[in-house]
Amino acid sequence: MRWQKLYAVPDAEKRVGLVLLSVLTLPIIAFTIFELSRLNSNEQILQEIYKNQLDAVLFSVNQYSNDILDKWANDLSDLERTSDSFALLEQFMFYNPSVQEVIFFADSANRATFSIKKYTNIQNNIICDSLFDKEIFGLIEQNRATLEQQKSFIKNDYRKIEVLPFENDTLVPMVFALKQPLKEKNFVALMVHTQYFIEDVLAPKLQEIAKDKFIMTSYVTQPTKRQTYFTDTLNLNNVGLSRPLWLLPDHYLGIALKGNSIDKISQARTKQNLSILLIIDAFLIIAIFLVYRNIRKEIVLAKIKSEFVSNVSHEIRTPLAMINMFAETLQQGRIKEDKKQAYYKMITDEAQRLTNTVNQILNFSKIESGKRKFDFKIIDVQELIEKCLESYHRQFAIHQFKVDFKKQTALPLIKADEVALLEALNNLIDNAMKYSKEQKEILITAYRKGKAIIITVQDFGIGIPLEHQKNIFNKFFRVPNHDIHDTKGTGLGLTMVKHIVKAHKGSIDFKSTVNKGTTFSLQIPALSE
């Protein structure tokens, strides 16, 4: 990829748009037109059945259940206004066998106690006044907020019946508040037997809906999936549609057509559509991959561009600011004669730093375009490394780096471009200094290995995480970390090193461990004896 492509984001966006249009939009439009043209009467009937019957079942059955509970609540609320409330309660429980217990209780100011009047179904010939058992007491205690809400509702002439969560699979507590307390009890809890409720209350309604066209069933999902009622024999796997019952937790209503099932009606159409969908899905998968790859490349390019501009701006702005500051100070004559040379030296150093940054960018541009020329001469590796270290003498002293150069005696000569090879070593030493923390040591070695000279630059700094090691030679890439903006650089250094070494018919390798350091190894062909 050429340097200029970094700025080709609009063109890339157009390409992505064309890919989306051709690979995604056109197949979807074609499939939609095909589906609309192939709709037949069976599919329209099927859609109507699904919609209308679902609405009818969900509304009528659940609303019917709520109406029954409202009637029970009205009957129990009227007990206070009768002369023989006990007899009416007996009659209520006799005609409603699904109500196993009626519990009247008062929400006491003391949160630890309740006043309870408990009645057991008259069919069992037991009528008693007793304390709450522990389960019911705990249930009411856990739902204090719900009781308070019901009290608030009843004050505004709105009665809401709440189904409380209960561990018993057979009984469901349904609680409501009384507008007028009954013998100082202002709440009623109906312990409803779920199976009796379905058989005695809901079954007639389900039969009425089913008639001779549908099969209606109710089933539970906990602890296992099983039918609790059905209007005709029906396998739960053949249920066409199902929806939850509002009042009974874990209970569902199911509906299926008699005779040909909905599945059979749509089977032929489904097979045909399935083949088309598989083809469309294959196109979509390919399209998603292509779009993802293109967008990802563009995002990465945009991010790299932003980072590169920021880093280069920082690299250039800093020495310019230093040069400007020292020059203004000298111009205004505020510096003593004995310190002028030091200021001149700082201006020269910063100018050289600025020149190096610009040269690095220009050299990289030449390498990218294939226009950089190398002047190969016979040179001594040891002298080259010592010359490089000498140029860093002042920086090593300022930053308190300990540098050790270990060399093998009688190293053979190499044919290389001295300026380019110095540039490669400078980049490696710069990186070693930038990414060293407390242990400021650099170890440089040079030795012969077969027909090549190996030059290594080792630091003991932060290292390179494994997931980023494959990218470090990519142009503009810098290892992400929290202080990346505090570490100077353009992201071109290692890319330049790799190009230079490759131009010398050599290779570069590295080993790195997080928090232990990094070692870069340059392998340059040696001249024969």
Concatenated DSSP letters of 48-78:
HHHHHHHHHHHHHHHHHHHHHHHHHHHHHHG
Residue carrying structure tokens 């030679």: 473
- Rounded to 5°, the CA angle 148-179-194 comes to 75
Q: Residue 316 pLDDT > 80, yes or no?
A: no
Mean pLDDT, residues 355-379 taken together: 75
Residue 44: pLDDT band with limits 50, 70, 90: low
Residue 35: pLDDT band with limits 50, 70, 90: low
Residue-level pLDDT at 509? 92
Structure tokens at 275: 């083949």
| 233 or 257, greater pLDDT | 233
Instruction: Specify the range with the lowest mean pLDDT, choosing from 8-22, 93-107, 137-151, 419-433.
Output: 8-22
Mean pLDDT, residues 168-196 taken together: 84
Within 10 angstroms of residue 352's Cβ, the number of other Cβ atoms is 12
Which residue, among 430, 429, 389, 426, has the nearest Cα to 407 in the 3D structure? Answer: 389
Residue-level pLDDT at 520? 94
Q: Where in the chain is the domain with CATH 3.30.565.10?
A: 374-525
Which residue, among 279, 76, 83, has the nearest Cα to 181 in the 3D structure? Answer: 76
Q: Residue 18 pLDDT > 50, yes or no?
A: yes
Q: What is the DSSP letter of 476?
A: T
CATH topology of domain 374-525: Heat Shock Protein 90 (3.30.565)
Q: Residue 83 pLDDT > 60, yes or no?
A: yes
Q: Residue 66 pLDDT > 70, yes or no?
A: yes
| 504 or 273, greater pLDDT | 504
Within 10 angstroms of residue 462's Cβ, the number of other Cβ atoms is 20
Residue-level pLDDT at 74? 86
Residue-level pLDDT at 447? 92
Residue-level pLDDT at 405? 92
Structure tokens at 92: 């209520």
Three-state DSSP state, 521: strand
- Rounded to 5°, the CA angle 252-58-207 comes to 80
Mean pLDDT, residues 497-524 taken together: 91
Which residue, among 496, 352, 489, 495, has the nearest Cα to 420 in the 3D structure? Answer: 496
Residue 445: pLDDT band with limits 50, 70, 90: very high
Model-wide pTM > 0.75: no
Mean pLDDT, residues 462-487 taken together: 73
Residue-level pLDDT at 404? 92
Phi, psi of 447 (to 5 degrees): -155, 165
Instruction: Specify the range with the lowest mean pLDDT, choosing from 24-28, 322-326, 382-386, 501-505.
Output: 24-28
**Contact by Cβ (8 Å): 489, 429:** no
**Contact by Cβ (8 Å): 82, 88:** yes
**Contact by Cβ (8 Å): 73, 188:** yes
Residue-level pLDDT at 467? 87
Which helix (H) or strand (E) element contains residue 267?
helix 262-331
Q: Which residues on adjacent β-strands are paired with residue 185?
A: 182
Mean pLDDT, residues 303-331 taken together: 74
Q: What's the CA gap between 252 and 234, in Å, rounded?
A: 14
Q: What's the CA gap between 415 and 410, in Å, rounded?
A: 16
**Contact by Cβ (8 Å): 136, 173:** yes
Residue-level pLDDT at 260? 62
Q: What is the DSSP letter of 80?
A: G
What is the chain's mean pLDDT, rounded? 77
For 298-315, the pLDDT digits (tens) are 777 677 667 667 666 766
User: What dihedral angle (degrees, nearest 10) is formed by the CA atoms of 231, 234, 240, 246?
Assistant: 50
Which residue, among 371, 358, 263, has the nearest Cα to 315 in the 3D structure? Answer: 358
Query: Strand 214-220 to strand 226-230: parallel, antiparallel, or no bridges (unpaired)?
Result: antiparallel
Which residue, among 74, 290, 99, has the nearest Cα to 197 in the 3D structure? Answer: 99
For 112-170, the pLDDT digits (tens) are 344 445 565 544 433 344 444 567 777 777 888 888 888 888 888 888 888 888 777 78
Percent of the chain with pLDDT over 90: 12
Phi, psi of 173 (to 5 degrees): -80, 125
Residue 487: pLDDT band with limits 50, 70, 90: low
**HSE-up of residue 23 (Cα within 13 Å, Cβ side):** 18
**Contact by Cβ (8 Å): 444, 428:** no
- Omega of the bond leading into 223 within 30 degrees of 0 (cis): yes
Three-state DSSP state, 427: helix
Q: What's the CA gap between 326 and 310, in Å, rounded?
A: 24
What is the phi-psi region of residue 463: left when phi exceeds 0, alpha when psi lies from -120 to 50, beta otherwise?
A: left
Q: What's the CA gap between 388 and 430, in Å, rounded?
A: 11
| Most confident stretch, 96-110, 216-230, 311-325, 513-527 | 513-527
